[in-house]
Amino acid sequence: MSNTKQLSRRSVLRGALGGVAVSLGLPFLDSFLNGNGTALASGAPLPLRFGTWFWGLGHTPGRGVRAGEPGRYQFIDECLALEPYRQDYINYFSAFNVPLDGNASAVHYTGWVGQRTGSVPVGFGGLPAPTLDTIVADAIGGRTRFKSLEVTCTGNPAHSYSYRSAGNHNAAEVSPLNFYVRLFGPEFAARGNVESGPDPRMLLRQSVLSAVQDDRNRLNRVVGSADRNRLDQYFTSVRELEQQLEVSLSAPPDLAACRMPEQPDEAAPGQDENTVAETHDAFAKILALALACDQTRVFNMMYAQAASEVREKGTTFTHHILSHEEPPDDHLGYQVKTAWFNELSFMAFGRMLDEFASVPEGDGTLLDNVLILATTDTSDAKTHSCIGVPAMTVGRAGGRIKTGMYIDGKASPISRVGLTAMQVMDVPIAEWGTRSLRTSSPVADILV
């Protein structure tokens, strides 16, 4: 690493921690890019990334968006957290349907399966085709360390809507700590079993940054001031994440009034709204760093599954139960608590976009080189409707799409949105789906 000519996009920082080898990838530095910061030095474009973000139970009717002049809209009420990104990064798709073709709707299942596979299932469990994320991963994910990464905030690894077939399911990571160790300490401990190696608390306290200190110092001597600032921001983000994870492993403070409670029965984490939010935010930070270091180009993030079981702390009624049993407020005319859960979903999504927007990349940020497809399972949770199921794209996909647009599907199949996303991601596909979801018509209005 004696001069910048020896640096390449594949350069990593290496070291040892507790006798175990660790490595740390680098973000896209100016040294890797052309003079304008718009492409790699070789002339190749900055890599495109694709992700999905899933929230359960759709919108409260009339409280997500307000359409304005043709093609324009505003986020309102429960989606206000997304408003800062609307014009520059988000397209909203309304009035797209999942036609049933005479099949009975499997509630909270048919909707997401139709969107992600382009086919309607016959009952529960019969996944009719691969999900589109795996198709995209085959096209763009083969040159990265991980072909795709799946995470869920529900505490259940089965809550992943990424499938190659009904019997080939990409299970999701449920622990931000295990996810961190998997990405930043690949030889430190086996995935999902932190006891197989040294105590992960040592990794977090000493930091992979300390382990690669010699390489960090050499790198800082050969890069320019702009790259040094970028590296400092990146390393700061890594350390802040390590400190947050360390807190989650720490014992409670030694206070006189503090007593150890009896050990509760083992239960899946991630069901109360505070835990879900904390898990989501930790995953968002890790995913942003993983994408910045080109460890993967495809990811799937689940905030809450279809028929969401998120609940308010200290209560037993879940979001899903309330969507059916909560009476509308006499004055406001809608289900207040149910709408609050929806708002929490989009507040979390907004914070995830903040993380992505904070990662500088070339002459923009990570959000300029990603396409996130945000989907749900139903338009109205109370009626389980597959008519007008909402969807969004977030990001500029390297300048390949227009943004800030409200697309009225006019009851056309929602598979058009999936086809559009796959074509933007260079999947060589002219049509997609089966029966009434079969389409060869991408949403041309958003294409550059």
Mean pLDDT for each consecutive 10-residue tract of the chain (448 residues)?
Answer: 54 74 82 81 86 97 94 97 98 97 94 97 90 97 92 95 92 91 60 48 73 89 88 86 73 46 46 94 94 94 97 94 96 97 98 96 94 97 94 98 98 98 98 98 97
Q: Report CA-CA distances (Å) from 333 to 57, 63, 344.
A: 18, 11, 20
Q: How far apart are CA 133 and CA 373, in angstroms?
A: 10
Answer for the pair 402, 447: CB distance below 8 angstroms, yes or no.
yes
Q: What are 81's two structure tokens? A: 């957290």
Dist. CA 372–CA 346, nearest whole Å: 14
Under DSSP, the state recorded for 262 is P
3-state secondary structure of 196: helix
Torsion angle of C-alpha atoms 434, 152, 278, 22, degrees rounded to 10: -120
If 0-12 CB within 10 Å is exposed, 13-18 middle and 19+ buried, where does residue 315 land? exposed
Global pTM?
A: 0.88
List strands edge to edge, sheet with 298-302. 149-152, 298-302, 49-54, 370-375, 391-394, 90-94, 406-408
CA 110 from chain centre, in angstroms, equals 22
Residues 40/10, Cβ–Cβ less than 8 Å: no
Give the integer Cα–Cα distance in Å for 327 and 335: 6
> What residue has token string 């997401």?
112
DSSP state, residue 139? H
Note the pLDDT of residue 257. 45
SS3 call for 122: coil
- Domain spans of the chain, in order of start: 1-46+199-251, 49-189+270-446
pLDDT of residue 189: 37
- Please determine, looking at this structure, whether the domain spanning 49-189+270-446 carries the CATH number 3.40.720: yes
Element (H, E) at 229: helix 225-249
Give the model's pLDDT for residue 255: 47
CB atoms within 10 A of CB 295: 18
Contact assessment for residue 49 and residue 314, using Cβ atoms and an 8 Å cutoff: no
Q: Are 214 and 220 in contact (CB under 8 A)?
A: no
